[in-house]
Amino acid sequence: MTTVDLRGVTCPTNFVKAKLALEMVDTGAVIEFLLDDGEPVKNVPRSLKAEGHKLLGLKETDGYYVLTLEKGEE
C-alpha cells in the first residue's frame, strides 16, 4: 500500500499533495495519508471525500493520524 506522509505540511498544500499522490494510483487502490492533528485531520479527509474518494478509516498513532482511503473514479 502507498503511504504518503503529509505531516508538517500546512493546509491547503497537504490537500493538493494528496490529490497529486492520488493521480499516481489506479481507481480502487487503497492509499494511506499521514496527517497532523488539528486543521489537517479536520479538513483533508472532508475535502478528499468531496472529490469522490472513499474514506475507509482513521487511526491515531503517536500524535498523528493515519487516513486510509480508496481512490474513487477519475
Partner 1 sequence: MSDEKKSTAIDLKNLKAGGFIKERGKDLFTVRLRVPGGRLPVGRLKKIAEVAEKYGQGMVHLSVRQSVELININFKDFDAVVAELGEGTQKVASCGARVRVPTACGGCEYNPNGLVDTQKSALEVDEKLFGTPTGHHKFKVGFAGCPFDCPKSATNDVGFQGAIWPVLEQDDCIGCGLCAKSCTEGAIAMDDAKRPVFTGDNCLYCGDCVKVCPTEAWKTEKKGYTVRIGGKWGRRPLVGTLFAEFLPEDRVVDFITAVLDWYKEKAEGEGRIRLGDVIRAEGAAALLGHLRERFPGFVVDATIPPQAIATQIGKER
**Catalytically annotated residues:** 11
The only residue of 17, 47, 64, 72 in contact with partner 1, by rule CB under 8 A: 47
Residues 40 and 52: beta-carbon distance below 8 Å: no
1-40 residues in contact with partner 1 (CB under 8 A) are: none
From residue 52 to residue 71, the character string flagging contacts with partner 1 as x (rule: CB under 8 A) and all else as - is --xxxxx------x------
CA distance 29 to 65: 20
CA distance 69 to 9: 19
Residues near partner 1 (CB under 8 A) are 41-42, 45-47, 49-50, 54-58, 65
